[in-house]
Amino acid sequence: KLLDTKPKPLFGKTIVMTSGPTHEPIDPVRYIANRSSGKQGHAIAAALARLGATVHLVSGPVTIADPEGVSVVHVESAREMRDAVEQFLPADAAVMVAAVADWRTANEAGEKIKKQPGEVVPVLQMIENPDILAGVGHNKKRPRLVVGFAAETQDLLANARKKLDRKGADWIVANDVSHSSGVMGGDRNAVRIVTRSGVEEWPDMSKEDVAERLAAKIAAALQTIEV
Ligand code: CTP
Ligand code: CA
């Protein structure tokens, strides 16, 4: 392998990340999930590692391989993801890309739920999951740079701005996941970077290119914020 002489602007920096979906158990054989493939988050983790960062990636269940050069913790549920993320604070930056299930079942069954004779069907009662990004953004050990994602099907910018404040994030990477966009599971992404000082609109590009560009922006930000 040729000697890698690329500059490593994130050398010595530690970044905690989430990626992929979460699975919320219903009973020992069933769960609630969502369509996240983990492609975008994993690509960002690899891109940050290529810039020299120590990346701790907490991944929900995905079928893609662990990104190269990244330390990966595999979890299933939102609660497991939150606990793993907290273990990696303090960190220089947090990049929370996971499509965390907003709700989990309140009444997880210890045994497989069996069919009942007649018309009786199970009723799933749901409760809200912890917000992992907000937990990091409002943490005593808050990283200097906190980046979240926002998947929206409508009112993209207004919703992203609200998430900036509610979650204590510095940037929200907003993407349109309406039916026509093909973002979920696809290989391309058109994002806007929403910050307190404005909005950057990036053209439609591959998830790899979004990852490269975001990693470079994170490197630049960590260099300028430093005192
Ligand atoms: N997020 C999180 N924990 C949750 C929910 C979301 O860490 N329980 C993070 C996601 O990883 C993402 C950001 O918050 O970085 C925004 O996720 P999104 O689903 O768009 O926002 P929600 O606050 O869940 O709002 P809603 O789904 O109602 O739009
Ligand atoms: Ca959500």
Domain ranges of the chain: 14-110+126-225
199/104 Cα distance (integer angstroms): 33
Any idea which ligand is nearest the CA of 166?
1
207/84 Cα distance (integer angstroms): 25
In Å, how far are 72, 153, 156, 177 from 159, measured between CA atoms? 30, 10, 5, 13
Under a CB-based contact definition with an 8 Å cutoff, are residues 172 and 160 in contact?
A: yes
% residues pLDDT > 90 (the chain): 80
This prediction's pTM:
0.94
Ligand 1, CB cutoff 6 Å, lining residues: 18, 78, 96-98, 100, 102, 129, 131-133, 148-151, 163, 167
Name the CATH code of domain 14-110+126-225 (choices 3.40.640.10, 3.40.50.720, 3.40.50.10300, 3.30.360.10).
Answer: 3.40.50.10300
47/50 Cα distance (integer angstroms): 5
Strand partners, 54: 14
- Annotated binding-site residues for CTP read 102, 112, 130-133, 149, 163, 167
* pLDDT, tens digit (0-9, with 9 covering 90-100), for 21-70: 999 999 999 999 998 999 999 999 999 999 999 999 999 999 999 999 99
